[in-house]
Amino acid sequence: MQPVDFTTLTAACSEIRANWLPSRLEQVHQRDRYTIAVALRTLKHRGWLEISWHPQASHICIGDPPPRKPDTFTFSQQLVHQLGGLALVAIEAIAPWERVINLQFARRPGETALYHLYAEIMGKYSNVILTDANNEIITAAHQVSQQQSTVRPIQTGQSYETPPKLTNTTPSLSESQERWQERVSLVPGAIKRQLLKSYSGLSAALLDTMLQAASLEPEAATDTFKPDDWQRLFQRWQEWLQALEEQKFHPAWTNNGYTVMGWGGVAPVKDIQELVYRYYTDELNQQVFSQLRHQLTQKLNNILAKLRLKADTFKKRLQQSEQADEYRQKADLLMAYLQEWEPGMKEITLADFENGKPVAIALQPDKNAVQNAQSLYKQHQKLKRVKSAVEPLLAEVNGEIEYLEQVEDAIAQIDKYQTAEDLEALDEIREELIGQKYLEDPEYRNRTSNESASTNFHRYRTPSGFEILIGRNNRQNDYLTFRVAGDYDLWFHAQEIPGSHVLLRLEPGAVPEEADLQYTANLAVYYSRARQTDQAPVVYTQPKHVYKPKGAKPGIAIYKQERILWGQPQLVNK
């Protein structure tokens, strides 16, 4: 992940300073353990300033409003208690070339700052610290004890100390090319490494784009450079320092990340706030998505393996119980032919009542014929009881397997992160499994499926232009089928195969063409466990004929008056 370097931080703060000072702090919401969103209002607009101290993705920018979820973090509550209603009057770096920003708050613009919020955007050492006017620490996002750091502890009540000062030379516009070249090439080596070693304020990402703009390779040795090479690179170096001095930047996406200098840009961005917010939101979401998907997949695999083993055990016991009538038949034969028994017999062969075929009956030699028959009758009764007891247990286990296979298929459909909606759909699955007691989460709040279901369905259009909605998980499936579906719509599902609920939206009087029905059926198979097959049966019916059994788990439905089409998933063009 590309870290926020001094150049990006300077560019982002320059824009914030130009558009959001002065502003009133109205609210503070902590999104997660590493990020706060600060609601700011100016005379022209209202927005959210996001400050993150994530060890891999610390940043500061204007971003989207936080989700409407309870904020249970004390840090944000302390901030709003101290800063609520105050004015953000200044955003300044604490020293040249330092990645520490001082956000100053006063009662009104023009007055002396009452509080300082220091945002330290320094990789794994990032932090956010609130102090009073005397720089005494009131609270910090991450407290550092004396045992953790003897160099720079950060604790409530202590005086705020700035991070250790930079040791490398700082870049300067007034430095001549000769002096700059001498410093960089004093010890021969790769140009990128030599620049990083020689100057502060640089980052690997910045140098990659700078060297690319100068048509030089990062690993090119300095002792192989020609005068033209040095000249081109120094021009880019000056261009960079000029941009910092004039606060003029050109944000753009690159093939590997982003740039605020425009070098190597493949898609310009209108402002730096959008660039920074989108990049780090997507990168962090990608991380969370991958971890959550792996966690859910592993958990489901483990649960399903245990349930299938349990189902196999029940099936074997039922197979054994099918021998119950055989024991009773042998007992009846033995009682009918008591005269054939002789003391000490271990086995007796008697003719079957119906077909006369010989039936071998194992005997216990220490018991007489009647006692052996009674023993066989008892075994018959025992196996009958087993059958009546095991059948509902097997049905329950099969129901669990069916439900979890539906969940498993929903996760399989969300195979990679593309938008925030993918993570949201996966998080809904996690909450569903917590609600169904398959996962544990002490912070989980019990919510009804209707309250927690999102509406970020997959959306398509049929050849005739009718809208198709497809659930991305069981909660969305329930919401789609039992809340969204109208009287004129058609409901589709792969027949007896785990998959998504699919809704073909129709206006009153609208009649879908055969091509529309086929297109919808193809999607129903594509978003099911039968995705890799050539074709699979799909049922469709009116939503009023779809029911949820009492006590059924999310996503489970039964239907009637259905028709069948054969869906062909390979024809779906995403």
Task: Write down which residue in 270, 294, 312 finishes a domain.
Answer: 270
Q: Assess if residue 477 is contained within a domain.
A: yes
Instruction: For 422-451, write each residue's pLDDT tens digit.
Output: 999 999 999 999 999 999 875 544 444 444
Q: List the helix and strand counts (H, then E) for the chain.
A: 13, 22
The total number of structural domains that make up the chain: 4
Query: What would the mean pLDDT of 304-318 be, rounded to a whole number?
Result: 92
Q: How many CB atoms lie within 10 A of CB 492?
A: 28
Res 482: pLDDT: 95
Residues 41 and 77 in one domain: yes
- Out of 77-86, 314-323, 344-353, 484-493, which region has the weakest mean confidence (pLDDT)? 314-323
Q: Does 97 fall in a domain?
A: yes
Reduce the DSSP state of residue 277 to 3 states and report it.
helix
What percentage of the chain reaches a pLDDT higher than 90?
A: 79
Is residue 564 classed as helix, strand or coil in its secondary structure? Answer: strand
For the residues 231-245, what does the mean pLDDT come to?
A: 97
Burial class (CB in 10 A: 0-12, 13-18, 19+), 209: buried
Kindly report the number of other CB atoms within 10 A of residue 337's CB atom.
Answer: 14
Question: With 90 as the cut, is the pLDDT of residue 148 above it?
Answer: no
Interval 227-231 mean pLDDT: 96
* Predicted pLDDT at 149: 76
Q: Is the pLDDT of residue 156 over 70?
A: yes
Q: What percent of the chain has pLDDT over 70?
A: 98
Tell me the mean pLDDT in the region 257-279.
94
Higher pLDDT, 408 or 356: 408
**Looking at residue 447, what is its pLDDT?**
45
Please tell me the predicted confidence (pLDDT) of residue 498: 92
Same domain, 301 and 253: no
Q: Is residue 169 part of a domain?
A: no
Q: 290 with 197, same domain? A: no
249 shares its domain with 308: no
Task: Output the DSSP codes for 414-481.
Answer: S-S--SHHHHHHHHHHHHHHHHTTSS--TT-----HHHH-----EEEE-TT--EEEE-SSHHHHHHII
Determine which of 331-335, 441-445, 547-551 has the lowest per-residue pLDDT on average.
441-445
Taking CA atoms, 556 is separated from 273, 409, 468, 476, in Å, by 44, 13, 20, 12
**What average pLDDT does this structure show over 236-243?**
97
Residue 537 has pLDDT above 90, yes or no: yes
Domain-located, residue 145: no
Within this chain, do residues 293 and 436 fall inside the same structural domain, yes or no?
yes
For residues 168-186, give the mean pLDDT: 94
- Structural domain includes residue 160: no
Q: Which range, of 159-168, 199-208, 320-329, 429-438, averages the lowest pLDDT?
A: 320-329
Using the 3D structure, point to which of 250, 270, 290 is the last residue of a domain: 270
Residue 188 lies in a domain: yes
**C-alpha triplet 229, 231, 234: angle, nearest 5°:** 110
Residues 264 and 306 both lie in one domain: no
Residue 258 belongs to a domain: yes
CATH number, position 216: 1.10.8
Domain hosting 131: range is 6-140
Write out pLDDT tens, residues 99-140: 999 999 999 999 999 999 999 999 999 999 999 999 999 999
pLDDT of residue 353 exceeding 50: yes
* Domain closes at, from 252, 270, 288: 270
Lowest mean pLDDT among 86-95, 228-237, 270-279, 382-391: 382-391
pLDDT bin (cut points 50, 70, 90) of residue 178 is: very high
pLDDT at 502: 97
Distance of CA 170 to the CA centre of its chain: 41
Please say if the pLDDT value at position 319 is more than 90: no
Residue 574 has a pLDDT of: 64
Q: Which amino acid is it at 484? A: V
Residues 93, 183 share a domain: no
Asked whether 46 and 40 are in contact (CB, 8 A), the reply is: yes
Shared-domain flag, residues 327 and 439? yes
The per-residue pLDDT for 54 is 96
Q: Is residue 326 located within the same domain as residue 182? A: no
Q: Spell out the residues 6+ positions from residue 321 whose beta carbon is closer than 8 angstroms to its own.
A: 383, 384, 386, 387, 390
Average pLDDT, the chain: 92
User: Could you tell me the pLDDT band of residue 453, with boundaries at 50, 70 and 90?
Assistant: low
Which of helix, strand or coil describes residue 510? coil
pLDDT recorded at residue 448: 43
Dihedral angle of Cα 269, 274, 276, 277, to the nearest 10 degrees? -150
Q: Tell me the sheet residues that pair with 92.
A: 102
- Amino acid at position 328, single letter: R
Residue 449: the pLDDT is 41
Question: Around Cβ 416, how many Cβ atoms within 10 Å?
Answer: 9
Q: Which CATH number do you get for residue 327?
A: 1.10.287
Given a contact cutoff of 8 angstroms between Cβ atoms, the answer to whether 503 and 484 are in contact is yes
Predicted TM-score (pTM) of this structure: 0.78
- Other residues' Cβ atoms within 10 Å of the Cβ of residue 558: 10
Tell whether 365 is covered by a domain.
Answer: yes
Residue 507 and residue 389 share a domain: no
- At residue 298 the predicted structure's pLDDT band, cuts being 50, 70 and 90, is very high
Same domain, 426 and 281: yes
Same domain, 87 and 30: yes
